[in-house]
């Protein structure tokens, strides 16, 4: 039979020696709540009859808009959800209680994406890239899908259509081509 602890025997443990410490951690997110800041632009009429209105702070351009953090979250989620605007809007509502439409998600993406910086528009040569669909709209450059991305797409196709044999066959063929190219490069070096 085990010996009773001091607390079980009726005594306190405040003065008892510490024999060990166990740590138990819980990782969680803080409560996330949307914060709405309202800017009131006051107009006043001078004695002369002229009306003068105040100005909104820089970056406040519309009666209702999304701030930089909400916009960044929407763009990040849209990328993670592979461009699905409606799913991104639902995720913003579910995660952050931010009502946003699929159209607003698309507009945020357009402002923050490759279009804004014109990164691809001026490119010439060959863009070695992933399978992100917006790249297809840039025709000034040639396009090559990275083999690593193609292998991931084939792996995903194999998971979705587990009975299909073609994803495995295409993967084997791609790996064989890579091996042949590496062998040829060693032979000419």
Q: What's the pLDDT score for residue 19?
A: 95
Q: What is the pLDDT along the chain (189 residues), one digit of tens a residue?
A: 555 555 566 678 998 999 999 999 999 988 888 999 999 999 999 999 999 999 999 999 999 999 999 999 999 998 888 778 999 999 999 999 999 999 999 888 878 776 556 667 777 788 888 877 777 777 888 888 888 888 988 998 899 888 899 999 999 999 999 999 999 999 865
Q: How far apart are CA 65 and CA 144, in angstroms?
A: 38
Interacting residues of 30 by C-beta distance below 8 A, sequence separation 6+: none
Q: Which one, of 120, 29, 106, 10, lies nearest residue 66 by Cα?
A: 106
Provide the pLDDT for residue 116.
58
Contact 34, 66 (CB under 8 A): no
Q: What per-residue confidence (pLDDT) applies to 38?
A: 95
Cα-based distances in Å from 182 to 127, 174, 185: 21, 12, 5
Distances (CA, A) of 137 to 7, 121, 133, 134, 175: 73, 9, 8, 6, 29
The string of DSSP letters for 24-73 reads -----PPP-----------EEE-TTS-EEE--PPTT--SSS---HHHHHH
Q: What is the pLDDT of residue 3?
A: 58
The model's pTM is: 0.52
Output the pLDDT for position 114: 64
**Domain map (residue ranges) of the chain:** 146-189
């Amino acid at each position: 039979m085990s010996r009773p602890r001091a607390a079980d025997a009726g005594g306190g443990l405040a003065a008892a020696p510490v024999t060990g410490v166990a740590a138990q951690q819980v990782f969680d997110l803080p409560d996330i709540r949307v914060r709405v800041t309202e800017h009131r632009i006051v107009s006043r009429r001078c004695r002369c009859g002229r009306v003068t209105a105040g100005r909104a702070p820089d970056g406040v351009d519309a009666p209702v808009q999304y701030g930089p953090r909400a916009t960044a979250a929407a763009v990040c989620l849209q990328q993670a959800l592979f461009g699905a605007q409606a799913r991104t809007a639902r995720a913003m509502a579910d995660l952050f209680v931010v009502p946003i439409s699929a159209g607003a998600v698309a507009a945020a993406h357009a402002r923050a994406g490759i279009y804004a910086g014109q990164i691809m528009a001026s490119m010439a040569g060959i863009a070695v890239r992933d399978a992100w669909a917006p790249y297809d709209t840039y025709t000034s450059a040639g396009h090559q899908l990275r083999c690593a991305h193609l292998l991931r797409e084939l792996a995903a196709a194999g998971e979705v259509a587990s009975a299909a044999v073609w994803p495995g066959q295409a993967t084997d063929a791609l790996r064989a081509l890579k091996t042949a190219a590496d062998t040829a490069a060693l032979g000419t070096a």
